[in-house]
Structure 1
Amino acid sequence: MFLAPQHYQLADRFSAQTLQRDIDWTRPYGWGIRDIEVDQESLANHRFLVRQLRARLPGGEVLSVPDDTTLPVIDLRSCLQKDATVRIFLAVPLHHLARANVAESPESIEARYLVSNAEVPDENLGTDARTVQVRRLNARLLTSQEDHAGFETLPIAQVRRSHRSTSVPEIDPTYVPPLLACDGWQPLHAEVLGRLTEHLGRKRSVLQAQATSRSIDFDCAGQGERLLLEQLRVLNTITAELAVDIQAVGIPPFFAYRQLASIVGQLSVFASEIGLPTIPAYNHDELGKCFFKLRDLIEQQLDEVAEPRYEQRPFMAEGTLLNVELAPNWFDEGHLLLVGVRSSLDTDEVEQLFRSGRFLKVGSRDRANELYLQGAAGLKLTRVGHPPRALPLSTNVSYYLVEKDEALGEWREVMHSLTLAARFGEQVVIDHLPDGQTIVVNFQGHTSTLALSLFAVPKAKARVPFGFEASSTDIPLTV
């Protein structure tokens, strides 16, 4: 038997088909972009130019630009005049055994391959280069406005009219083409995986700080303490797994999507309505739609994972005056206002400093100095024996409740000015630290540091582990 070109071609097709089946049967969704680089300067001039592209077509053919071929430039002006968005496709003519599949001219739109000459040296010697004919994919770019009949296509980007005043085209961030790996498309990698990793990390850090400050472990039986540890355990697990995914190279989007779906399931038990929400179906050809929906769902679930429910603002030091600005909603009945005192003085010394009325006065920023000079009564601060569970605990922090009484003229001044200030005596304040918040005080022969923060704590709601439930034991009205 004499070997003919058909024998070699048949062997090549058999090898290619076997490899294709192996990939399709063992790896789901094995087509898409591995990485792509679009020239941004050309895009600003209404031209779509691909600098670099590595992709695998749905039929299994792999392509690398510019190593294997070059792609023509698309003029976007006329396209965007017709439609607000235009999708760009990588296109290769379909393979047909009954017609010529190889041509020498790129003008042949039906030929799947083009013949070109390559200078190939002897790789053993590095010399003796010879001209060898090779065939390359006859690839091109098509838009969604063109006929795709007779082509195998792969969407690689979507361009839209810019919303900015410059009106230059831009890559549509809401569209994500089929991908071989998540890191092949920066908007998906950063705006979904990266964003969720940061959100989870912030939430986990806050809960971890609460558990650490209150020395909570699984032997604790206080209200909400077991819930906090369960939330922290779940957040630790999913944050660690997602951190591995975002740092790894080549994670397929389907596997990343399964990981995100697992996160939805783990967080669902902490929702106000316990139950597994509907998870969007995975769509390899429209990755943006399913990934962004799933990201938003996870962020909604994270918002229901309880955090310490308070707002904190530091008092800023101005000479002997420490003052802070208040938010208007803090004056309603749903909020408690507490002053946190961080000092190297012991708790009893701090209480003596605040109770005597001779060393400081509390009022609005405009009135505090006058209150001190006149020896008038200011706002009453009551030491809190059992702070709200939301607040961080520390051995060098004491909490004092600000008495809110609209019948008092000084409180009305605070409400009007949206400020609160503590005016210390000159004999007490001896220096300031560079942070602008901490003062150095001399009290009862001791030199110590002191800083104030205002905490606004809303009343608790159901299933919130760190809210405040008003009771005579939580905030005593007398010291």
Structure 2
Amino acid sequence: MTIQGDVHWQEGLFLQPQHLQWMQRSLATKTSAERRLSRPYPFGVIEAEMSADQLANGFVGFSKLRAVMPSGVMVDVPRTTDLPVVSIKKAFEAARGSLLVSLAVPLWSEVSGNAVVDTGNEEWQVKRIYKVVETEATDENTGENAQPINVRRINARLILEGDDTADMEVLPLARIKPGIGGDAGLYSQDSSFVPPCLTLTGSSFLRDELVGIANAAQAMSSNLHLQLAPSAFRGSEHERLLHVLRLRSLNSFGARLLSLVDAPAVTPHDVYLEMLSAWGELSALRPDLDPLDVPSYDHEQLGTCFLALIKALREAMKGSVRHRFIRAEFQLEGELLTLALTDEHLTAPTDYFLGLSTRLDPAELVSFVERGDRFKLMAPTTSKGKAVLGAQLAIEHAPPPSLPLQAGLHYFRIRHSEKDRMWQAIAKEKAMVIVAAQEDVADMSASLYMTVDDAEG
């Protein structure tokens, strides 16, 4: 709608319908302009209630729907807008998977008609933005003298993927899924689909996800508070400071987000900025996190960007990951260095490293161990076969920071895949041995280092 100015009212003006139409359109345009100035994303769903009974019978209809179209037109079903139901049965015969249902409103035209009179003959199919309906209005002063008046209602319609959208503006509303198995022939609304929303009330799914992350933040905050009690805390001052900073961020984020979610007219963009702020504070305490994992706000793909940010926040809220290790030393039994394993050794670790302390030249040691013919890590029952290969060992030049560093100590990563036959034998026998000539390992000590990840809080 383009308005070039307000009507100039003057004495003697011959009043015509165009004057009042111009004034009415001017007021609507100004309202839309104010909304655009006050909100960065001034369109989307405000509230929507789909009829479950109609959906069960293969029709999509809304008992209540409030939304603002991209042009600024307000759709309010059933107060000011008519919205006929749409059949989805035939569409699903040709569609694969889910089906997108959208709201469509004809565009206002400067050069052709914009209203169609309601005669009960499916005027919604006519691409005119208004439908003229006769109603009765009483004198609001006396409550009497009811008179018929014509009012304009928004002539909206529901459309499916592939329908004609020429001369109309469109707003996605819902995604419908077909039933499978015993539910074949039935239809359901995809609750995880999030349409563009003017306010957070436009998507119950998104609101529930936000309540979930806020509750998680408050639960972690309570747990962290207990850990920081003087009688319970065990750690350095540096670790204590990190805990305090994370507690501050969690306290603020959880309380603020719940307050925003409960507010009646908060926008998704406002909530997203709050979550980005929390992500910035929490990720600063986690240098291992990649800032590029957080997507930019996308008003037309709210589900995608919000779920990605929620996932990133849940990871950041865990705090830093501390690596502890378990060390088990090989003992000389006869001619073999032997190590017995426990259930914890086989289930808790994330990685296994063979630590060798020796005076050998590092390059010579690597060649000696990795060749696999003079030095083998094996299960006890397989150590007698000369042609049997041991577990695969590879020098680890950058071992995890938690492992001790000292002169003459070298780490070799042990391949422990479930597909590795030697590792399967070691796990089954709960023991491993080092097979090597005694003169080669005379001055060598060996230990198994097992790293275990512990997330703080």
User: How does the TM-score come out when normalised to structure 2?
Assistant: 0.65
Who is 2:309 aligned against?
A: 294
Q: Distance in 2 between matches of 1:465 and 1:145?
A: 51
Which residue type is aligned with residue 104 of structure 1? V
Residue 226 of structure 1, CA deviation: 1.8
Residues 101, 113 of structure 1: 8 Å contact kept: yes
Q: Distance in 1 between matches of 2:233 and 2:112?
A: 75
**Which of the residues 41, 44, 57 maps onto 2:69?**
57
Query: How do 1:236-385 residues align onto structure 2 when only pairs under 5 Å count?
Result: 236-273=251-288, 276-305=291-320, 330=344, 332=346
**Which of the residues 205, 210, 213 maps onto 1:187?**
205
Residue 53 of structure 1, CA deviation: 0.6
Who is 1:91 aligned against?
A: 104
Q: Distance in 2 between matches of 1:150 and 1:245?
A: 37
Which residue type is aligned with residue 205 of structure 2? P
Structure 1 unaligned blocks of 5 or more: 310-327, 336-458, 467-479
Aligned CA distance change for structure 1 residues 77 and 274 (closer, same or farther; 3 Å):
closer
Q: Distance in 2 between matches of 1:286 and 1:333?
A: 41
Find out whether 1:131 has 2:148 as its counterpart: yes
Residue 50 of structure 1, CA deviation: 0.8
CA-to-aligned-CA distance 1:59-104 (integer Å, 9 cap, x gap)? 1111211112332111111212222121111112111122111111
Find out whether 1:114 has 2:127 as its counterpart: no
Which residue type is aligned with residue 107 of structure 2? L
Who is 2:78 aligned against?
A: 66
Q: Distance in 2 between matches of 1:117 and 1:203?
A: 59
Find out whether 1:231 has 2:246 as its counterpart: yes
Residues 138, 144 of structure 2: 8 Å contact kept: yes
Residues 206, 307 of structure 1: 8 Å contact kept: no
CA-to-aligned-CA distance 1:269-289 (integer Å, 9 cap, x gap)? 222516633421211122111
Aligned CA distance change for structure 1 residues 465 and 111 (closer, same or farther; 3 Å):
closer
**Which of the residues 212, 215, 228 maps onto 1:198?**
215
Which residue type is aligned with residue 241 of structure 2? R
Q: Distance in 2 between matches of 1:26 and 1:333?
A: 56
Q: Distance in 2 between matches of 1:300 and 1:164?
A: 37
Residue 294 of structure 1, CA deviation: 1.2
Residues 272, 304 of structure 1: 8 Å contact kept: no
Residues 198, 267 of structure 2: 8 Å contact kept: yes
CA RMSD of aligned residues (A): 3.0
Match of 1:13, SS state, is helix
Equivalent pairs counted in the alignment come to 324
Residues 116, 128 of structure 2: 8 Å contact kept: yes
Aligned CA distance change for structure 1 residues 61 and 242 (closer, same or farther; 3 Å):
same
Who is 2:371 aligned against?
A: none
Identical positions, percent: 28
Which residue type is aligned with residue 111 of structure 1? R
Structure 2 unaligned blocks of 5 or more: 1-12, 325-341, 350-449
Who is 2:163 aligned against?
A: 146
Query: How do 1:75-86 residues align onto structure 2 when only pairs under 5 Å count?
Result: 75-83=87-95, 84-86=97-99
Who is 2:379 aligned against?
A: none
CA-to-aligned-CA distance 1:401-434 (integer Å, 9 cap, x gap)? xxxxxxxxxxxxxxxxxxxxxxxxxxxxxxxxxx
Residue 163 of structure 1, CA deviation: 5.3
User: How does the TM-score come out when normalised to structure 1?
Assistant: 0.62
Aligned CA distance change for structure 1 residues 281 and 179 (closer, same or farther; 3 Å):
same
Which residue type is aligned with residue 64 of structure 1? D
